[in-house]
Structure 1
């Protein structure tokens, strides 16, 4: 189960809506080894695509250096789907960081209601997990 605060959910959804119809992407980092997400970091989708995302490599390097200095790690990798439901695509599965990373997908598709779902990618397959939202 992934535990997020309402403000973290709100930040992810706001970022997804701001970037729509392009896919938004980002991270929620936390103390290494804790599985406790603490800081939302919106990333630039260098692909500027409606169907896939790629982190800006310069920004990614800066964020990874900052995490190393702070002793933090990516807990959640999030992105949006602007034209489909919140379910991992083949491209999403290829972007897995580690089996421990939570992958949150937000659907901003006008054909569906706002959908926020979380998955772990195990052996190349998405396994959905519950999201518990706390204050």
Structure 2
């Protein structure tokens, strides 16, 4: 196995399938939900490694404020092929805001491209990579991947969830290299 600074974990040298590599994310700091009976992972979110790296770099550029955006993939899939960098209209280090107009414009462009929304991302400059109560309550797209990048440590912690009916399911992030 080779160490990766991109995902605070390790890639396997053996691909899962052609060009697909599992990103095993480990965390120094755990959220209380990581204890027995907390959020468990039993599903995956596949994201192109270039999109993954670009997402982290974009969020790092937004520091000390939160950065945010959308992820899309081909219609009929739940994969991340394209990163949509959107402005954090709140311009705060502990909150992000996307206006309805900004999201509607991005979603229209995603549809024109033949893609569908597969993920939402934002950073937590000073908090762990875990959805806040506001993140959970204000999530308008249940079922899509919800990625949080925390910059409390270096390299950043990255976690992925789905949120439906105020319940969380953590997803393992799987990076792939092919189109």
Q: Same fold (TM over 0.5)?
A: yes
Range with greater deviation from structure 2 (41-50 or 30-39)? 30-39
Q: How does 1:1-135 map to 2 (within 5 A)?
A: 1-109=44-152, 112-113=153-154, 114-135=156-177
| Cα deviations by residue, 1:16-74 (Å, 9 ceiling, x for unpaired) | 10001100000111223311221101110000011111114443232122123333221
Range with greater deviation from structure 2 (25-34 or 77-86)? 25-34
Larger Cα Rg: Structure 1 or Structure 2? 2
TM-score by length of 1: 0.89
- What is the CA–CA distance in structure 1 between the aligned matches of 2:77 and 2:49, rounded to whole Å? 19
- What is the CA–CA distance in structure 2 between the aligned matches of 1:17 and 1:125, rounded to whole Å? 28
TM-score by length of 2: 0.69
Q: Secondary structure of 2:57's match?
A: helix
Say which structure is richer in helix: 1
**Number of residue pairs the alignment of both structures matches:** 133
Unaligned runs of at least 5 residues, structure 1: none
Unaligned runs of at least 5 residues, structure 2: 1-43
Residues 1:85 and 1:13: Cα distance change in structure 2 (over 3 Å): same
- What is the CA–CA distance in structure 2 between the aligned matches of 1:84 and 1:25, rounded to whole Å? 15
